[in-house]
Structures are given as C-alpha cells and as structure tokens.
Amino acid sequence: MQRVQKTNMKKVFILAVTLISLASCDSKVKLTPAQERLVQKQVDSLVETSLQESVERRYTPIEDSLPIKILAKKLTEHNSVGGVGVDIDFKNISGKTIKYIYFEVLPYNRVGDLEFGRHSQYPTPTRLKLTGPIKNNKKDNYWNDVLWYSWDISKFEIVSVEIEYMDGTTYKNFK
C-alpha cells in the first residue's frame, strides 16, 4: 500500500509541475476548458485516493488488548434525512475508575470502503467523549443519534481509544 501511495503522490507531483509549467510559459500552448476540467478531475481523484490510503494506514480497527471490553457496537437507525449515529456498549476492565473516555470512529459503506458524510470532504475519524466516573468492572454505553449524514454508511469501526483515569493516569492506543 505504501508503494501505491508513493506512486500516486509522484503522479500528483508530476501533474502539478506540468500544470505550473504550462501556466507560466508565454507560448501559445493553452489548455482548453475541457482539458482543464479533465486535468482537475485527475488531480482530485489522485489526491482523494492518496488521502483515503493515508487514513486507512493510520487508522486500523482496534479492540484487542484494551483496558475496556467492547460488548456491542452498532449504528443507530438512519433518520429521515440519512443521519446515523453510533451505540457502543463496553465494560471497564482496567482495574481503575475512568474519568473520561474518548473513542475515535470511522464510518464504512456496505463494500468496506471508508465513507464520509455529506458535510465532510474526506473520511476523517470522529472523536467521541464520554464523561465518567465509570468504576472497574462496570458496564457503560456511548450513544449518539447523529454523527454523519449519509445513506451509504452501513457500519463503523473504533480506531482509537484514549482514557483518562480518576488518579490522573492515561491510556492511549494511538499509533
């Protein structure tokens, strides 16, 4: 995947240099509006592919070896305008009392590709905050009825967890 990203970034760089060269020269070589749209479409496609690969590499689903046990996670029902949220049930198995817990989640469509809502241009993790206290061996729940607006979202993954304990210590599983 890293080779693909480097190849895509090289293509974007070459395309950008070519466009700058064409724009700055005084020759009579000019792009037609149709050619400009085609070049812009190719640049946008390469940038979007590169960003998606970067997000996928940085954020992979986690759930093993956490100080909490994920008991259930599901999407809420889509509302009348395509809004959908998350419902996460978990149990604190850390041996400490949790003060705050932060989840970062990413939405996916039915074929497993990263998805994003109509109010964002690129798929980026959504950070969720739950305030405790959550005592050891106790269950709790994070629920939000609308995080994204897209009928295409069919599942989500938890990609990072950050926990602040009542004793001031923290747990982070960021890469």
Q: What is the pLDDT along the chain (175 residues), one digit of tens a residue?
A: 444 445 555 666 666 666 666 555 555 567 788 877 877 777 777 666 665 565 555 555 555 668 999 999 999 999 999 999 999 999 999 999 999 999 999 999 999 988 877 666 666 788 999 999 999 999 999 998 898 988 999 999 998 899 999 999 999 986 4
Q: Using alpha carbons only, how large is the chain's radius of gyration in Å?
A: 22
pLDDT for res 124: 75
pLDDT for res 43: 73
Quote the CA–CA distance of 143 and 89 in Å, as a whole number: 9
**162, two tokens:** 């950050």
Quote the CA–CA distance of 173 and 175 in Å, as a whole number: 6
pLDDT for res 103: 93
Number of Cβ atoms within 10 Å of the Cβ of 148: 24
pLDDT for res 3: 46
